């Protein structure tokens, strides 16, 4: 079974072949081929023996991928082919990098700019509060504030674009 | 429900000997399956690659949900036949899941003789359609075939159950509203052109997929016109001009993804509810079956021991335990599905036949699927029994088995001889699925008995002519070829090669196979036929 | 002694107080807000009463409702934990008025010491050294700005009522002053109901060393040695240890004496903490008195063997301390790491959500003060602290190694935590060397990025985990009920 896995923005092809009837698999990553013995100790808890080295690994399935814990460190691994399997036809307009959106559900505390303001990259636009911690959402690039889509005390979610900025600079 | 208590001593010499023998047979099975799955010529592999096509196993991997079961049907069809190179009769067939929905797949393997169709390939295709029809499973054809294997065309084309039946079935399946989706991943020439044409949805791969009634060589011979396959019946032609195909695929992977989307878009399966409970593992390791089944098929053993290693929590409720004890009947669950099990503990007598008839009717009435575990030397014979009406009682059982409408499943776990095969739901009695264990034997009667009968007939003839009976050395010489033939043509390998069954099973996997099969069977309504029976002779 | 006490707090500290109370044979009453109905402290307590909506002012900061809950449950005393109302003199006073024992110092003491400016005055007059700075607080940005320009930059803006890093800003130059000042005022007003700020000289790379004190109502006060709390991120302590690597026996003795003096000068009763800044020349300055149980109190408990919560309750019940300075002989070394629900890869932004898997470390010398459990949803409304991991060993290096081992086995999935960051800090050379100053994180970990676990092992774990079938049918139109073998068998062939 072939996979293409994404970890930290990097996509790695790999192939896993399960030995029938045994709790053992051969995993190929690039040129390397490694024997992995595995045992499901409890829900989400695997004991792996990778090339003779034993490790306890914890795996949580989330909507974004699998959160994997190994010796105090965690990472998110995604199946790059999960959906859809075919190679991409354009799936709608690009969500350009750097939208002004909170990284988690939060409440707007202060709005530092107004529509029509010129802002520079890194300038504070909106202060949000979540779990009693205030933090400032900054402008992702230089530009003109065309629209503010929120108000003080509004509850906002990741993905909500709070401030729309028309980029200025290199292109124009 | 009561736990079946085992009487097996896993430390005994007998157990160990049995275990070793069965383990060897399972090892052979695994080895043959592996060969059938992966042994392909370098040339074929290279050619497939050059054409930009994926190997058929890879196609299945991309088509089906990842890390889900694939219940392959008759993987060893044509085993030992046709130069021993036409693995699986050139076709991979099996039940798998797409977007969680159970479907049956029929895929040509172009790396075996260019995907040409052999007589047993037709038989396998028809069997696939029968499974689709009986269980209302959407059927997916992945077509990549050079057409009929011409040297054997007389065995492929003319008869009722030959090639034409494939398209007849497609029309019938369509009428029954069983979805049929066709991926054109290679050539679909002549008759094979009708597979996509008669499907509901056709996904056509550009460059490699082509549909035409007559291929370029035939066109040239007939009209002198020179034309390429792509130009004659490629994806562009059929998606843009003729309308023969519905979806244009850039390559194999794209085609398989489109099929997945089509399946995902079907209305949901209406599975029959038969009252499941939480699935529980058996208390005993299913592998212990290896040590239970005797090396010699004639050695009796208690069939409850194998039932205990198949059913949930090793529990069942035995029906009429003290009556007609050569047939055991009882209620149990497999993967949470209720089943009524009939297993042989010796020859069938009048009592055991009557018990079976009653039990089958009860299961049928209650909508409980039936599982037959065949290890049957036959019905009892002899003066006393004929006078007691064994034929009359055997008939009742055959009648009930034939006309019961609930899903039936048969596993031949040992002998399957004579009318016993009928009463215990042999292939002719339309079980939804029928499998064999590697040790199983099938025939009109055992080889020994058959040879004995022939010697007796000969001696009777000699006696009528006033001659002495055959001397012992002649008798042995006469018996040997008959016994050898019975042994060879009655073993599981011969059976599975000829598609008398749906495959040989590792006994330890029987429980899971049955669970998968019952789940698949529930895609059809419980009663596919009118409930009721013929007249029982009293 | 009381029969029943109410804990006016949530999370790990409430659970920790309940544990000692149970050991003392006291019944415990938890209070909770709507979102905490299934929180660990509610589950642990003998009895639990709802306060109201999630908003702190409607629940954990609502004095009336808490007093009412105490009355309704028949509790005789209230333990405030830390944060929320722990250092609110009005709350202490309200308890006194209601005839309930407040497990902490008297309201007047809290009021005096809670005002940073007043505390500085008391300490200065008792001869305890203080940091140069302004004497009065204000909410007038212009005033603060003028004062700052007089004192020079960099400078520290601090909330008069402050604590826990809230309402505090370091200002490097005059231009930043207005914005920083406004932010500090707004934060302080929101957190403490008092927006006033004052200025302090910003010491360069000092150490943050605090002394635990205990004083009974009969005038007897002792200290329980120091805690080194210099490792801070955004003025929030994240790692604490005891003893401090920076103290010589002489400095330790002098600071201990100053701490007891501070306690006595302020009329202190109960458990408290006197915080000092220690500069590079070994000079120390009074910073503030925390009139509550500190988050990091367990390390003192580990080295001294004194259960601080038990002493708090006994003192509140009017019992004498029964412990002299000579009785307190610390042993070995203890380290605490605070585990927060924060994503170290995303600038430590809070990471609330459901904990889908939890494995807490155990074994010799390991203590976990936790307010979570597997399946618990960490609410968005409160401080993101999940738990504290405390280790003890015979010396610092053994304790450090033990902490590495324990963090390596602390699996929390479903949300992000600070465990990977803490592990990197504990494993770093500067920490091993004891280079713990308040600029530790800025100096050594500003460009820090989480190091992924061994990537190939993680990838292997992913594909191996794929072999495990989904426990339950997923997807829109799957039939309900037990999974079919098609769903439960996973990868399977005949």
Asked if pLDDT for residue A95 goes beyond 70, the answer is no
Contact A86 B30 (CB under 8 A): no
B23 min Cα distance to partner chain C (Å): 16
Contacts of A156 in chain C (CB under 8 A): none
Chains interfacing with A (3 or more CB pairs < 8 Å): B, C
Question: Residue range C133-146: average pLDDT?
Answer: 88
Q: Give B-chain residues touching A84 at CB under 8 angstroms.
A: 257, 261
Core vs surface per residue B203-232: b (16+ CB within 10 A) or e? bbbbbbbbbbbbbbeebeeeeeeeeebbeb
Which 3 state secondary structure label does DSSP give C119?
helix
- B527 φ, ψ (degrees, to nearest 5): -110, 110
**R_g of chain B computed on alpha carbons:** 25
Say if A20 is an interface residue toward chain B (CB within 8 Å). Answer: yes
The chain C residue lying nearest B26, using CA atoms, is: C494
CA-based nearest residue in chain A for residue B251: A86
Q: Which of A32, A36, A109 sits opposite C464 (nearest CB)?
A: A36
Chain C residues whose beta carbon lies within 8 Å of the beta carbon of residue A104? 349-352, 380
What pLDDT is recorded for position B67?
A: 85
Within 10 angstroms of residue B170's Cβ, the number of other Cβ atoms is 23
Cβ-contact C361, C337 below 8 angstroms: no
User: What pLDDT, on a 0 to 100 scale, did the predictor assign at position C253?
Assistant: 95
Q: Is C367 a residue of the active site?
A: no
Residue that the structure tokens 């009837």 belong to: A21
Per-residue pLDDT tens for C357-391?
A: 999 999 999 999 999 999 999 999 898 999 999 99
The answer for A 109-138 residues in CB contact with B (under 8 A) is none
Q: Which of C455, C457, C463 sits opposite A3 (nearest CB)?
A: C463
What's the pLDDT tens digit per position in C290-305?
Answer: 999 999 999 999 999 9
Please tell me the predicted confidence (pLDDT) of residue A90: 33
Q: Does B155 contact chain A (CB < 8 Å)?
A: no
Q: Among C376, C381, C386, which residue's Cα sits nearest to residue C356? A: C376
pLDDT tens figures, C31-61: 999 999 999 999 999 999 999 999 999 999 9
Using CA of residue C9, residue C15, residue C20, residue C25, what is the dihedral sign? positive
DSSP characters for C263-291? HHHTT--EEEEEEEEE-TTS-EEEEEEE-
Check CB contact of B283 with chain A, cutoff 8 Å.
Answer: no
Of the candidates A2, A20, A86, which has its C-beta nearest B254's C-beta? A86
Contact criterion met (CB < 8 Å) for A1 and B67: yes
How do residues C433-489 score in pLDDT, each as one tens digit? 998 888 888 888 888 888 777 888 999 999 998 887 654 444 444 455 788 899 888
- List the pLDDT tens digit at each of the 538 positions of chain B: 999 999 999 999 999 999 999 999 999 999 999 999 988 989 999 999 999 999 999 999 999 998 899 999 999 999 999 888 899 999 999 999 999 999 999 999 999 988 888 999 999 999 999 999 999 999 999 999 888 888 888 888 888 888 899 999 999 999 999 999 999 999 998 778 899 999 999 999 999 999 998 888 888 888 888 999 899 999 999 999 999 999 999 999 999 999 999 999 999 998 999 999 999 999 999 999 999 999 999 899 999 999 999 999 999 999 999 999 999 999 999 999 999 999 999 999 999 999 999 999 999 999 999 999 999 999 999 999 999 999 999 999 999 999 999 999 999 999 999 999 999 999 999 999 999 999 999 998 888 888 888 889 889 999 999 999 889 888 888 888 888 888 888 999 999 999 999 999 999 999 999 999 999 999 999 876 788 899 999 8
- The nearest CA of chain A is from the CA of C82 a distance in Å of 15
Name the token pair of C138: 């204000």
What is the 3-class SS of B376-429, one letter each residue?
ECCECCCHHHHHCCHHHHHHHHHHHHHHCCCCEEEEEEEEEECHHHHHCCCHHH
The verdict on A30 touching C (C-beta cutoff 8 Å) is no
- Nearest CA to A76 among C452, C187, C293, C238? C452
Would the CB atoms of B257 and A1 count as touching at under 8 Å? no
Domain ranges of chain A: 2-85, 99-167
Q: What's the CA gap between A113 and A122, in Å, rounded?
A: 13
Domain A2-85, what architecture? 2-Layer Sandwich (3.30)
Q: How far is B277 from chain C (nearest CA, A)?
A: 7
Kindly list the domain boundaries of chain C, sorted by start residue: 4-103, 132-201, 207-444
Hey, are the CB atoms on A16 and C454 less than 8 Å from each other?
Answer: no
How confident is the model over B292-338, as pLDDT tens digits? 999 999 899 999 999 999 999 999 999 999 999 999 999 999 999 99
**Inter-chain contact C453–A50, Cβ cutoff 8 Å?**
no
**Which of C11, C362, C411, C418 is the best residue to mutate to test the A interface, defined by the most A CB atoms within 10 Å of its own CB?**
C411
| Contact with chain A for residue C178, Cβ under 8 A | no
**Among A91-105, B462-476, C30-44, C316-330, which stretch is predicted with the lowest mean pLDDT?**
A91-105
Torsion angle defined by CA atoms of residues B211, B212, B216 and B219, in that order, rounded to the nearest 10 degrees: -170
Which CATH number is C207-444 given?
3.30.470.20
C291 neighbors C109 (Cβ within 8 angstroms) = yes
Mean pLDDT, all residues of chain B = 93
**What is the CATH code of the structural domain delimited by C132-201?**
3.30.1490.20
CA distance A160 to chain C (A): 17
Which residues of C are less than 8 Å from B271 in CB distance?
479
Cβ pair C485:B75 closer than 8 A: no
Same fold, C4-103 and C207-444: no
Partner A contacted by B57 (CB < 8 A): no
How far is it, in rounded angstroms, from Cα C73 to Cα C77? 11
Which of these is catalytic: C65, C169, C292, C437? C292
Query: What's the CA gap between B458 and B469, in Å, rounded?
Result: 8
Residue A169 has what pLDDT?
60
How many whole angstroms separate alpha carbon C107 and alpha carbon C390?
31
| Cβ contact, residue pair C467, A18, below 8 Å | yes
Note whether C40 and C24 are within 8 A (CB): no
Quick one: pLDDT at residue A89? Answer: 39
- The reply to whether residue B512 touches residue C487, judged by beta carbons under 8 angstroms, is no
- For B139-264, where are the alpha helices, taking DSSP H only? 153-156, 163-175, 194-197, 216-223, 229-233, 235-236, 252-264
In C193-289, which ranges are continuous DSSP H helix?
Answer: 249-265
Residue among C205, C199, C213 nearest C261 (CA): C213
Question: C4-103 — its CATH code?
Answer: 3.40.50.20
Check if C390 contacts A (Cβ < 8 Å).
Answer: no
Question: pLDDT band at residue C422, thresholds of 50, 70 and 90?
Answer: very high
Which of A1, A2, A84 faces B257 most closely, judged by CB atoms? A84
pLDDT higher at C407 or C475: C407
Question: 74-113 in A: which are within 8 Å (CB) of B?
Answer: 84-87
Assign A133 a pLDDT band (cuts: 50, 70, 90): confident
Q: Is A82 on the interface with C (CB under 8 A)?
A: no
pLDDT tens per residue across span B418-431: 999 999 999 999 99
Q: Are C33 and C341 in contact (CB under 8 A)?
A: no
Second CATH level (architecture) for the domain A99-167: Beta Barrel (2.40)
Indicate the residue of B336, B505, B516 with minimum beta-carbon distance to C486: B516
- A9 touches C: beta carbon within 8 Å: no
Q: Which of A85, A87, A89, A91 to mutate to test the interface with B (most CBs of B within 10 A)?
A: A85
């Amino acid at each position: 079974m072939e996979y293409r896995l994404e970890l930290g923005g990097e996509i790695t092809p790999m192939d896993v072949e399960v030995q029938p009837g045994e709790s053992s698999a051969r995993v190929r990553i690039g040129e390397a081929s490694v024997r992995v013995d595995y045992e499901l100790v409890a829900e989400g808890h695997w004991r792996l023996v990778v090339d003779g080295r034993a490790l306890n690994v914890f795996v949580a399935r989330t909507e974004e991928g699998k959160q994997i814990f190994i010796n105090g460190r965690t990472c998110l691994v995604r199946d790059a082919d999960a959906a859809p399997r075919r190679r991409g036809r354009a799936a709608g307009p690009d969500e350009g990098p750097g939208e002004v959106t909170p990284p988690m559900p939060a409440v707007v505390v202060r709005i530092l700019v107004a529509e029509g303001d010129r802002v520079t990259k890194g300038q504070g636009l909106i202060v949000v509060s979540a779990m009693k911690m205030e933090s400032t959402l900054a402008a992702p690039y230089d530009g003109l504030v065309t629209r503010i889509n929120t108000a003080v005390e509004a509850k906002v979610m990741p993905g909500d674009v709070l401030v729309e900025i028309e980029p200025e600079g290199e292109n124009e | 429900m009561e736990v079946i208590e085992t009487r097996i001593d896993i430390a005994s010499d007998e157990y160990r000997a049995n275990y070793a023998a069965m383990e060897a047979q399972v090892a052979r099975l695994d080895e043959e399956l592996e060969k059938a799955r992966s042994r392909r010529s370098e040339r074929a592999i290279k050619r497939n690659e050059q054409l930009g096509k994926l190997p058929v196993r890879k196609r299945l991997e991309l088509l089906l949900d990842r890390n889900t079961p694939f219940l392959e049907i008759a993987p060893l069809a044509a085993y030992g036949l046709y130069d021993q190179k036409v693995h699986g009769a050139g076709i991979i067939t099996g039940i798998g899941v797409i977007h969680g929905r159970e479907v049956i797949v029929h895929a040509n393997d172009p790396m075996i003789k260019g995907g040409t169709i052999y007589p047993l390939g037709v038989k396998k295709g028809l069997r696939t359609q029968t499974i689709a029809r009986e269980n209302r499973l959407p059927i997916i054809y992945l077509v990549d075939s050079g057409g009929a294997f011409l040297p054997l065309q007389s065995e492929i084309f003319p008869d009722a159950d030959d090639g034409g039946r494939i398209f007849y079935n497609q029309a019938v399946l369509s009428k029954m509203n069983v979805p049929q989706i066709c991926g054109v991943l290679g050539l679909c020439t002549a008759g094979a052109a009708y597979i996509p044409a008669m499907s509901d949805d056709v996904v056509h791969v550009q460059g490699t997929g082509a549909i035409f009634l007559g291929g370029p060589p035939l066109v040239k011979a007939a009209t002198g016109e020179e034309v390429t396959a792509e130009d004659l019946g490629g994806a562009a032609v059929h998606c843009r001009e003729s309308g023969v195909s519905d979806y244009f695929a850039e390559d194999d992977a794209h085609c398989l993804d489109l099929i997945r989307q089509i399946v995902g878009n079907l209305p949901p399966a209406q599975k029959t509810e038969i009252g499941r409970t939480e699935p529980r593992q058996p208390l005993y390791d299913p592998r212990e079956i290896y040590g239970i089944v005797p090396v010699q098929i004639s050695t009796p053993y208690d069939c409850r021991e194998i039932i205990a290693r198949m059913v949930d929590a090793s529990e069942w409720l035995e029906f009429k335990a003290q009556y007609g004890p050569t047939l055991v009947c009882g209620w149990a669950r497999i993967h949470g599905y209720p089943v009524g099990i009939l297993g042989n503990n010796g020859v069938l007598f009048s009592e055991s036949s009557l018990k079976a008839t009653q039990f089958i009717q009860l299961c049928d009435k209650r909508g409980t699927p039936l599982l037959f575990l065949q290890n049957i030397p036959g019905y009892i014979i002899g003066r006393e029994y004929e006078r007691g009406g064994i034929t009359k009682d055997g008939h009742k059982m055959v009648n009930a088995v034939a006309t019961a409408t609930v899903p039936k499943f048969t596993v031949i776990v040992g002998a399957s001889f004579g009318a016993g095969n009928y009463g215990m739901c042999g292939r002719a009695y339309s079980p939804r699925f029928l499998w064999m264990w590697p040790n199983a034997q099938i025939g009109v009667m055992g080889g020994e008995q058959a040879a004995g009968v022939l010697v007796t007939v000969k001696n009777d003839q000699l006696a009528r002519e006033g001659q002495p009976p055959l001397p012992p050395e002649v008798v042995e010489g006469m018996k040997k070829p008959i016994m050898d033939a019975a042994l060879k043509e009655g073993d599981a390998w011969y059976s599975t090669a000829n598609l008398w069954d749906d495959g040989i099973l590792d006994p330890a996997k029987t429980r899971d196979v049955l669970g998968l099969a019952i789940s698949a069977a529930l895609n059809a309504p419980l009663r596919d036929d009118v409930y009721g029976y013929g007249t029982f002779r009293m | 002694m009381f029969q029943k006490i109410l804990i006016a707090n949530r999370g790990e500290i409430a659970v920790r107080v309940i544990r000692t109370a149970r050991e003392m044979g006291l019944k415990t009453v938890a209070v909770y807000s709507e979102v905490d109905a299934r929180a660990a402290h509610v589950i642990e307590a003998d009895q639990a009463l709802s306060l109201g909506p999630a908003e702190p002012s409607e629940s954990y900061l609502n004095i009336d409702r808490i007093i009412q809950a105490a009355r309704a449950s028949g509790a005789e005393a209230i333990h405030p934990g830390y944060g929320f109302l722990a250092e609110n003199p009005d709350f202490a006073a309200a308890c006194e008025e209601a005839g309930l024992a407040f497990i902490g110092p008297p309201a007047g003491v809290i009021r005096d010491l809670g005002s940073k400016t007043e505390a500085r005055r008391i300490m200065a007059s008792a001869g305890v050294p203080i940091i140069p700075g302004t004497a009065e607080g204000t909410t007038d940005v212009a005033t603060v700005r003028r004062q700052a320009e007089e004192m020079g930059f960099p400078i520290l803006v601090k909330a008069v009522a402050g604590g826990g890093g809230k309402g505090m800003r370091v200002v490097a130059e005059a231009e930043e002053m207005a914005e920083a000042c406004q932010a500090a005022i707004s934060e302080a007003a929101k957190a403490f109901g008092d927006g006033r700020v004052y200025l302090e000289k910003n010491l360069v790379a000092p150490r943050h060393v605090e002394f635990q004190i205990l004083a009974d109502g009969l005038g007897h006060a002792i200290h329980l040695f120091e805690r080194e709390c210099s490792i801070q991120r955004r003025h929030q302590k994240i790692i604490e240890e005891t003893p401090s690597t920076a103290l010589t026996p002489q400095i330790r003795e002098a600071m201990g004496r100053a701490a007891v003096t501070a306690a006595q000068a302020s009329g202190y009763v109960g458990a408290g903490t006197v915080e000092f800044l220690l500069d590079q020349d070994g000079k120390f300055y009074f910073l503030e008195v925390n009139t509550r149980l500190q988050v990091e109190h367990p390390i003192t408990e580990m080295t001294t063997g004194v259960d601080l919560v038990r002493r708090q309750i006994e003192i509140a019940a009017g019992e004498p301390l029964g412990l002299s300075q000579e009785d307190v002989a610390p042993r070995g070394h203890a380290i605490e790491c605070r585990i927060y629900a924060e994503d170290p890869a995303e600038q430590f932004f809070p990471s609330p959500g459901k904990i889908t898997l939890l494995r807490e470390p155990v074994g010799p010398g390991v203590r976990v003060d936790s307010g979570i459990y597997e399946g618990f949803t960490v609410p968005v409304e409160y401080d993101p602290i999940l738990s504290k991991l405390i280790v003890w060993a015979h010396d610092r290096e053994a304790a450090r190694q033990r902490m590495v081992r324990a963090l390596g086995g602390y699996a929390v999935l479903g949300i992000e935590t600070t465990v990977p960051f803490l592990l990197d800090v504990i494993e770093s050379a500067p920490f091993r060397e004891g280079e713990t100053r308040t600029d530790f994180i800025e100096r050594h970990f500003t460009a820090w990025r989480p190091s992924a676990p061994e990537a190939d092992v993680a990838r292997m774990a992913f594909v191996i985990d794929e072999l495990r079938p989904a426990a339950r049918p997923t997807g829109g139109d799957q039939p309900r009920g037990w999974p079919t073998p098609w769903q439960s068998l996973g990868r399977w062939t005949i």
